[in-house]
Amino acid sequence: MKRMMILGFLVVAGCENPSLGIGTSINSSGVSVSPVFSGNVGGVGVAVAP
């Protein structure tokens, strides 16, 4: 998980319009929340979620 967070920060650092969001999912075991890093690279949207 820590490696994905570091990778996310590195990807977002090279992006235009970087942002940090929250991804949520609901399943039979409950609610899960995770960070989502996103931005634009060369006009293409990129998102990284651990």
Q: The pTM is what? A: 0.52
As given in the structure block, the two tokens for residue 6 are: 């570091």
Query: In the β-sheet with 16-27, what is the strand arrangement from edge to edge?
Result: 16-27, 30-41, 44-48
As given in the structure block, the two tokens for residue 27 are: 């399943």
Domain range list for the chain:
2-48
- Which pLDDT tens digit goes with each residue over 1-50? 577 777 766 666 666 777 778 888 898 989 988 888 787 877 778 777 77
pLDDT confidence of residue 26: 92
Decide: residue 47, CB within 10 A, 0-12 exposed, 13-18 middle, 19+ buried.
middle
pLDDT confidence of residue 12: 63
